[in-house]
Amino acid sequence: MRTVKLDLADAPYDIHIGEGFLASVSAILPLLAQPRVAIVTNTTIAPLYLAQLQVQLEQAGVSVLPIILPDGEKYKTWETLNLIFDALLAARCERKTTLIALGGGVIGDMTGFAAAVYQRGVPFIQIPTTLLAQVDSSVGGKTAINHPLGKNMIGAFYQPKLVLADISTLATLPDREFSAGMAEVIKYGLIDDLDFFEWLEGNIDRLMERDADALAFAIERSCQNKARIVAADEKETGQRALLNLGHTFGHAIEAGMGYGVWLHGEAVAAGMMLAAHAAHIQGAISDGGLARIEKLLRKAALPVVAPALGEDRYLELMAQDKKVDAGRIKFILLERLGQSFIGELSQDVVRQALRAGCAAA
């Protein structure tokens, strides 16, 4: 087992990376304020892993309330969130009841948001079952639901008590979902870790074959990078925004195409290419650097061409991004491979990047 510590002043916690966590609840039990939990999962994950986790907890004397939600980004809504509250209230769950998020990023985000607001805050634990959730969304305490006008626009910063990333769950992950997670892994190399980017270039084939040792290293390195940035800026008042490389473009893709049509990681990958095109236009990265980014994304079976929503539509959607400040869109920009910063782009550069990186209408 590998452990990454997220060292927050008010709510430090461990991120355990390994195999067999669903068959052993030894890390969970000491954190329970009472012997009662609600496991929030979905219709895809429940048949695979719910019973195993539930049995282990019940054998340890813990009462378990399963809450099974529909699967998919399109269900990351108020209506689905209320299904969690309905179940908790009907079962008379108390403030010391711990919520356990068993699933991918959608389940983790909604469970965390529910925990943040149910009875003004109850403890929760993340057990992410997708690569994207293991390296990104389960770590750092961002919780939210979508709104038709913007992704993750309604939510809260609320930290889990523990994250258990069980690599064995990746064996059942569909190839498309696995690739979507690789987008976030590649992101860490681009924003602040050139050594990791170069390691990914040399080991991408092992990762795509789901080699356990390569995956464990990539997940640990990704979590270390995120933990370091989050510890320095928990509420995203500054440098934490670097973790959003490609996301301003990517969120526009998700909203413009309709939530769930493009997976989050797919949209981020295309968004990172658009950001790379902008950096190339500004002279920050060379032809060779642009080609390296595109080659790595292609090897991860990720899209490198964004959909043709139209330049004006992209600008309209990006104007609703959370990083907009005083009406000005903030972008995460590449200074060079492995180094990024928060800045602005002229509308002309944005339009040039869209023309370079979008499919023909």
The Cβ-side half-sphere exposure at 232, using a 13 Å CA radius, reads: 11
| Contact criterion met (CB below 8 Å) for 152 and 142 | yes
Candidate list 151, 247, 280, 330, residue with the active-site label: 247
Residue 42 known to be catalytic = no
Q: How far apart are CA 284 and CA 277, in angstroms?
A: 10
Whole-number pLDDT of residue 151 = 85
CB atoms within 10 A of CB 296: 20
Q: How far apart are CA 91 and CA 67, in angstroms?
A: 11
Residues in the chain, pLDDT under 50: none
Residue 84 has which token pair?
């969690």
Question: Which of helix, strand or coil describes residue 298?
Answer: helix
| Contact criterion met (CB below 8 Å) for 264 and 106 | no
Residue 240 known to be catalytic = yes
Candidate list 92, 120, 209, 328, residue with the active-site label: 120
Candidate list 220, 244, 280, 294, residue with the active-site label: 244
Candidate list 73, 177, 220, 236, residue with the active-site label: 236
| Contact criterion met (CB below 8 Å) for 246 and 332 | yes
Residue given tokens 């038709």 in the structure block: 148
Q: Does domain 2-172 have CATH number 3.40.50.1970?
A: yes
Across the strands, what pairs with 166? 18
Candidate list 42, 73, 76, 142, residue with the active-site label: 142
Residue 206 known to be catalytic = no
Residue 142 known to be catalytic = yes
Across the strands, what pairs with 40? 67, 101
Q: Which fold has domain 180-357?
A: Dehydroquinate synthase-like, alpha domain (1.20.1090)
Whole-number pLDDT of residue 148 = 86
Residue 251 known to be catalytic = yes
Q: How far is CA 183 from the centre of its chain?
A: 10
Residue 151 known to be catalytic = no
Candidate list 73, 76, 146, 184, residue with the active-site label: 184
H helices of the chain, in order, are 51-59, 78-90, 105-117, 131-132, 175-192, 194-208, 212-232, 247-257, 264-281, 287-299, 311-318, 347-357
Candidate list 76, 187, 221, 264, residue with the active-site label: 264
Buried b (16+ CB within 10 A) or exposed e, 314-326: bbebbebbbbeee
Whole-number pLDDT of residue 21 = 86
Residue 247 known to be catalytic = yes
Residue 234 known to be catalytic = no
Candidate list 151, 161, 221, 240, residue with the active-site label: 240
Whole-number pLDDT of residue 20 = 87
Question: pLDDT tens digit string along 30-44?
Answer: 999 999 999 999 999
In the chain, which residues fall in CATH 3.40.50.1970? 2-172
Q: How far apart are CA 78 and CA 341, in angstroms?
A: 34
Whole-number pLDDT of residue 361 = 63
Whole-number pLDDT of residue 357 = 97
* Surface-to-core class of residue 268, CB atoms within 10 Å of its CB (0-12 exposed, 13-18 middle, 19+ buried): buried
**Maximum distance among all Cα pairs of the chain, rounded to whole angstroms:** 62
Whole-number pLDDT of residue 328 = 86
Helix (H) or strand (E) holding 334: strand 331-336
Question: pLDDT tens digit string along 46-77?
Answer: 999 999 999 999 999 999 999 999 999 999 99
Of 107, 335, 169, 358, which is closest to residue 253 (Cα–Cα)? 358
Residue 147 known to be catalytic = no
Tell me whether strands 13-18 and 98-103 are parallel, antiparallel or unpaired: unpaired
